[in-house]
Amino acid sequence: MKRQLLAALIAAQIPVTASIAADTALQEELLVIGSRDNRTIQLAETVEITADAAQLLKKAPGANVNGNGPLTGIPQYRGMFGDRIKVTVNGSTLSSGGPNWMDPPLSYAPAAQLESLEVTRGIAPVSAGQETIGGAINATTWSGDFSESNDFAVSARLRAGGQSVNRGSLGSATLVVANHSHKFKLSALTEQGDDANFSGGSGSKVEPSEYKRQRFDLGYGLRFGNHSLQFDLGSNQTDDTGTPALPMDIDYIDADLASAHYAFDSGELAANLRIYGSNILHGMTNFHLRQAPMAKGMYRQNIAEGNNRGFKFDIATGNWKIGLDGHLETHDSNIDNINNSNFFVVNFNDAEREIFGAFVEHQYEFSNGLETELGLRANRVVMDAGEVDGTPARMMMAMSGMSSGMGMPMMTTMMPGPGMRMRDTFNSADRSQQDNNIDWVAKAYLPTSDVTTLYAGLARKSRSASYQERYLWLPLQATAGLADGRTYTGNLELKAEVAHELELGFDFDGQDLTLSPRVFYREVTDYIQGTVTGDGNANAFVAMMNTMNSTSNAAPLQFNNVDAELYGFDMDWRYRLDNNWSLSGLVNYVRGQRVDSDAKDNLYRIAPFNGSLALNYAGAQWGISVEGVVYDEQSQVSSYNREQASSGYGVLNLRGQWQLNSGTRLGFGVDNALDRYYSEHLAGTNRVSGNADIAKGEHLPGYGRNAYARIDVEF
Ligand SMILES: [Cu+2]
């Protein structure tokens, strides 16, 4: 199987000790292991101490990250992001607890605890997850191995590090006690940082960009014959953490995670059953980390609760793999004002999204070497939400008009306000919705020589609306982290998005040169995005709030179905100069447009054309890398989202590593070594008032020069 092949590749190539790595090892080459289907980022081979695993995605072709805060990176792949990308952690799905995705699924896989981060290249197999319209990513945490003996042995991974840009620090420890049939794991992580500097004059800081997180995990594994069982419990405690691109900051994210995994493998037949769940409690405010609103009446706190329950079952035998999976998420979100106990908004009440899927996948190798993958998946999505209410929905509106009688004075009558009308429309509507979605995948690989394989893929992928897109009843910015500053309302009648995609490319794996370019074209019918709302009440509500609060918020958008296309090109490559020196790089280009007849526009928040070039030296005990990263301007921006264009830039990064002895490794580096001022298009714009160095509405600057060091101990 491919996975075993990949595992063998990893086992064969990773220098476990310096002695194995002697002579010719190109250590840097092992950071991202490519197979034709995916890119696996080996966390042990990284040197950074980034808290946010999503930032590491930039090492994989086609991948990027929408950064709303230091722990809040939302993966982007080939122009799609958020719910469109299936993120799993150890094979389990996890939906964000917060309505604005301050805790994206990948935030539950802290970088320091990861073994690997696997990005599926291009069209994801139907077995990779339920809704993979934009791709699939799986993070795997390190959990040790069973030994071959009766006696218990201890193994561990310890990591400590610090960085200068935000005086950030990291400490992580995982201990495993195992013999051939039992395995106990204990893991703890703490990481924190202050507001980060940027190159804008002395003392310029991105505020608030501080972060603080702790994480504890317990695991037990049991192995008997061809069977194994694994139980895991985790507790994530995120504390005060900034999200300057969003209207509020994180007060707390308390998440409890549990999973059980049964695996059977006889060689001829492999089966997996995963059952998992999580409870997430999350508080955020617009006053505790950023400058509070002038008016006491504008203070806001949002308490959200999100729960996940799910399972995944699959059996693989011969060329076939079949499976069943299910995922249920429920969400509550309530907004209040600590200065006014009467104020409340029931933002989401028991919003439910349930999805059940079944898939079958077939892989075959013909005698001429042609390999094919065919997959078919059916998903059923069932959604519902409870009734809502809120202070803004209890306001009457004064209407003045002439009375009917001649000569009588003006009369004022009280009418339901627009918020009340929206509430009543929502509460009296049939909010339960069902979609039946069909996905299929067809891929072929044809080797044309010892070093070249041609690739073609064709797929249909679908995604049903998220609970925010369907059930946001009052114009608010609870949009799964879009961070465009616009208010939105949902749409109960949204149809599922359906994408048809064509992908072509080849893999060249020569003596000194490897490269694997891909071009793709994806046409999406019923693509869900915000457009001008036809709901007069939503427009009237925002206008009324602007008058009452002396604000100037833009007219609200509504999530609607449009048509879109995305196309582009991406490639990673490496050229070996000699046994120690190599060059490597990435090229990524994606273009996204709305194409239905109503209005032509660019899609929102698409990564600009970008590339990187690195010169690497890898010796027996140490290695260094000098990397230039270049981003073009992004001028093809979405007018609906009032997205601002951004300028291009280049950044120089230096990285090094030193294997002190067989179990100890030192990593160090300087990011943005020239301390350039730049802003990443995907980092969004500043929503925080009162920062003298960054105006509200301006692009958030990238971090300044950052020197860091990390020590990894492994035994
Ligand atoms: Cu939040």
* Confidence at residue 396, expressed as pLDDT on a 0 to 100 scale: 85
**Taking residues 35-56, what's their average pLDDT?**
84
Please name the residues in contact with 304: beta carbons below 8 A apart, sequence gap of 6 or more.
Answer: 97, 98, 99, 280, 281, 282, 283, 284, 331, 332, 333, 334, 347, 348
pLDDT, tens digit (0-9, with 9 covering 90-100), for 323-341: 999 999 999 999 999 999 9
- Span from the CA of 248 to the centroid of ligand 1 (angstroms): 7
- Span from the CA of 481 to the centroid of ligand 1 (angstroms): 9
In a domain, residue 609? The reply is yes
- Span from the CA of 461 to the centroid of ligand 1 (angstroms): 29
User: Predicted confidence band at 266 (pLDDT cuts at 50, 70, 90)?
Assistant: very high
User: Predicted confidence band at 448 (pLDDT cuts at 50, 70, 90)?
Assistant: very high
- Span from the CA of 445 to the centroid of ligand 1 (angstroms): 44
**Phi and psi angles of residue 205, each rounded to the nearest 5 degrees, phi first:** -130, 150
- Of 96, 104, 93, 108, whose CA–CA distance to 216 is shortest? 108
In a domain, residue 408? The reply is no
| CA pair distance 337, 509, nearest whole angstrom | 60
- Span from the CA of 514 to the centroid of ligand 1 (angstroms): 43
Q: Do residues 194 and 210 touch, judged by C-beta distance below 8 A?
A: yes
Q: Do residues 70 and 241 touch, judged by C-beta distance below 8 A?
A: yes
pLDDT, tens digit (0-9, with 9 covering 90-100), for 98-134: 999 999 999 999 888 899 999 999 999 999 999 999 9
- Span from the CA of 80 to the centroid of ligand 1 (angstroms): 21
- Span from the CA of 709 to the centroid of ligand 1 (angstroms): 31
In a domain, residue 15? The reply is yes
pLDDT, tens digit (0-9, with 9 covering 90-100), for 157-203: 999 999 999 999 999 999 999 999 999 999 999 999 999 999 987 78
- Span from the CA of 249 to the centroid of ligand 1 (angstroms): 7
> Which tokens sit at 223?
């192995």
- Span from the CA of 256 to the centroid of ligand 1 (angstroms): 17
Q: Do residues 453 and 36 touch, judged by C-beta distance below 8 A?
A: yes
CA distances for 159 relative to 50, 187, 681, angstroms: 12, 12, 32
| CA pair distance 488, 109, nearest whole angstrom | 30
The residue with greater pLDDT, 477 or 396, is 477
pLDDT, tens digit (0-9, with 9 covering 90-100), for 648-683: 999 999 999 999 998 999 999 999 999 999 999 999
- Span from the CA of 333 to the centroid of ligand 1 (angstroms): 10
- Span from the CA of 285 to the centroid of ligand 1 (angstroms): 8
* Confidence at residue 532, expressed as pLDDT on a 0 to 100 scale: 92
- Span from the CA of 96 to the centroid of ligand 1 (angstroms): 10
* Confidence at residue 22, expressed as pLDDT on a 0 to 100 scale: 34
Q: What is the CATH number of the domain that holds 322?
A: 2.40.170.20
pLDDT, tens digit (0-9, with 9 covering 90-100), for 576-605: 999 999 999 999 999 999 998 767 899 999
DSSP for residue 482: -
In a domain, residue 545? The reply is yes
Is 149 in a helix, a strand, or coil? coil
In a domain, residue 403? The reply is no
* Confidence at residue 409, expressed as pLDDT on a 0 to 100 scale: 58
**Taking residues 451-458, what's their average pLDDT?**
96
- Span from the CA of 665 to the centroid of ligand 1 (angstroms): 37
In a domain, residue 402? The reply is no
Is the pLDDT confidence value at 19 over 80? no
- Of 372, 371, 334, 369, whose CA–CA distance to 351 is shortest? 334
User: Predicted confidence band at 1 (pLDDT cuts at 50, 70, 90)?
Assistant: very low
In a domain, residue 401? The reply is no
- Span from the CA of 77 to the centroid of ligand 1 (angstroms): 23
- Span from the CA of 283 to the centroid of ligand 1 (angstroms): 6
Q: Do residues 678 and 671 touch, judged by C-beta distance below 8 A?
A: no
688-691: long-range pairs with CB below 8 Å, 24+ = 688/207, 688/208, 688/244, 688/290, 688/291, 689/290, 689/291, 690/290, 690/291, 691/205, 691/207, 691/291
Domain that includes residue 587, residue range: 2-396+415-714
- Span from the CA of 203 to the centroid of ligand 1 (angstroms): 28
Give how many domains the chain has, as a whole number: 1
| CA pair distance 659, 177, nearest whole angstrom | 25
Mean pLDDT of the chain: 92
In a domain, residue 406? The reply is no
